[in-house]
Structure 1
Amino acid sequence: MKKVLVISYYWPPSGGPGVQRVLKFCKYLPEFGWEPIVLTVKNGEFPYRDESLLVDAESIKVYYAKAIAPYGLFKVFSRSERIPTHLLSPQENERIINRIARWVRYNMVVPDGRIGWYPGAVKLGLHILESENIDLIFSSGPPHTAHLIARKLSENSGLKWTADFRDPWTDRFYYVESPRCRLTKWLDGTLEKKILSKADRITVVSPGFCDQLNNHVPIKDKSDILFNGFDEEDFRDRSFHRRDNGKIVISHIGSLSKSQNPILLFQAIQSYYKKFSENRFRLRFIGSVHPAIKDTINEFKLNSMVEFINYLPHAEAIKHMMESDALLIVVPDLPGSEGIIPGKLYEYLRSGSHIILIGNDNCNAADIVTNFGGFCINQNQTDFKIERITSIRTNQNTSQLNQYSRRSQSERLSEIFSNCVDE
């Protein structure tokens, strides 16, 4: 069996979407002839912790590199033990110290707040390459510091290297919400181009993101679209039942930033309530929600219909997906957002619940939702009626769905690895 060094900042007990992709790859790669050896951070700064994910990591060999944590300064400034994703978006009437911390985070730390991991990870990585007889290097970002580590190790060892992009680099929508200074953009852009040029193979989670990266450096001849997915074992033997006294439960699982405000949904529910004087809906937000969205809920007087739940372990989040009548996805209406396909979409599909997507018609996520019979609402639509939601039926075509299983995606990745080392 060949060995691949997997470089990822996020690893259990880290929770959230960043850890799922790499963890599931490592779980299934051995079935296809590749043993993962993981290089991750020791005592990392994670937005969420999920101890339940350690079960999938039990049989995987992991090395932990120490890190200097400039990201921790943001925690000090914001006086928070945990930094929700929405705090990376600006807020109305926020404290000046938070604004300063965000500016420092986006302008003084390049490429990201995990750069303090670089020295320790390179040092330990060189030791791993010597002791483990590694055949290939694989890095997954963000944080894109992982790619800088991989490039250094590849240069020193001569080993081939595959770089995985779960999100864009310089084109992330957070930078539209909080623009950076010219010098920072130039420096970050230079690093991005070097990584894209030096990597032997590149995997990307969506066609839209691949196009964005290709606009910076031509990568089409060495890139592959490798979607996120769902793990069938996460859904196996999971019992659930829908409750809430006959109400239609619409849930969103995960973080919502300022630019992901589902105003159209709020407007439609308010209009329905005014027309029929009936509280037929229940909105459930699981995860961090930007204060601007909570303000919008107050403005529409929907508080009695809304429930906020803090981050839940992955297994509990899956249960909520299956117990909901409909699941919400919001793609930001910002430049470069066409390639956003939230990782949870594939678990939404597997859950069997209906799917509502608010976004632009040309976004990659809309293509998938439409293909499975979900409900897409254009951001610029003004005449959306909530009654239409009760008629949506998400298609659970097993043969179509299986292409998005974590096992299938891991098999594809193993083929990419084999082709990379043989080139």
Structure 2
Amino acid sequence: MESLGLIDFIVFWLVFALTVIAVVYGNLKKDTDNLLDHLLMGRKLTLPMFTATLVATWYGGIFGVAEIAFNEGIYNFLTQGLFWYACYIIFAIFILPKLQTNKHMTFANLVYSEIGPRAGKWTALLNIGNLLPIAYILSLGKFLELTFGLDLITSMSLGVLIVLCYSLIGGFRSVVYSDLIQFFVMFTSVVLVFVFCFFKFGLTPLESLPDHYFSFTGKGGVGETLMWGLIAFGTLVDPNFYQRSFAAGSRKIARKGIFAATIIWMIFDLSLTFGAMYAASLQGSDYFNFSLMTLPFGLKGFFLAGILATILSTLDSYLFLAGATFAHDVLNRKSIDAQRASVVIIAFVALVCSLFSNGSIKAVWSTLGSISTAALLIPMLFHYFKRNLTERIFLSSSIAGVFATILFQFFPTNIQPIYFGVMASLIVITVMTNLKLNQQ
């Protein structure tokens, strides 16, 4: 990796120190210590807070996204950008108005209240599986390995320990206040790389890239492209989106925050995509090392801090919410101590899973996303827009989606497993709903 100057280390540790200060400051402002404050910051998220924590939480897989952009160009902007923007807007316009945002604590809690207790428990287990931050622990491990020369296992273990230290202190409040710093640093650092490349090299280097870099289907074809579209629809059943909406000061704040976040994500995605394409055309090295070679001293350290902020902001949110869901919705334990213990348990499980993964962030990401989307998307859409969904139909449809998605992971086919999962879920829910109507 390109050598860093003293100024880079100063900038890097300064940003880290500011994050710690933000966490401490946020906890000093806390005027109550109850479960509502621990899980949702008392439902007092302002528009800037909501936007910052939503943006920061949603982008921890920067190594995976950069890998896709480096290898396939603007295909990344479609699969990791445009599909998702559409789903964010759908959530804000069509789903958010249907939520009783001042009533529920988690997404699984919503399902428990509106569909049934068994459906709530099942949803909680699915959410925990989706929230296990395996890909983000891998990303953090690779970052620390590249930056400080530690081995991958030590890097992942140390990274998880650091996140646990501040996540356990103030709960969701700590996550939000750290996100305020991390949001600014992660966004600015990625945009800076693109700006420097554009003014230093112009657009000429991009012309040397193969044609597939400018194809919306990349090298994977239409099937894989649409798979990412289906995974993006998982936003409509993503527990982080629901938790932020429940924590907002009002439904209006949540809606405006989602719109603002979408614009910010678009700028971020474009900057990252073209930055990675510059890396592929000029150096043939990965986005991370190329950025360090391109930026001047001082900004190298800021970029490193931005990458770290991008990963940490998602890792802490996923760990916290998975632990909260486990304690609140699976164990039915409402104490803050139970919440903290659950976060530690989830962190250990996620770390072990990371150690035994094959190291591919993209593979982990798509697999977990496929299962969660196939299991919950169709049943929840039926619940929101048909309002005649029984718990039995919900569970049957959801389990069918999980079973089909996992089953077809083991069959050699050109069709992505998520298609079979969503189709199985849709068939089961359609048949059972029609049978119910005929019986009436």
TM-score (norm 1): 0.29
Which gives a bigger RCO, structure 1 or 2 (Cα 8 Å, sep 6+)?
Answer: 2
Q: Which of the two has greater helix per residue?
A: 2
Q: Which of the two has greater strand per residue?
A: 1
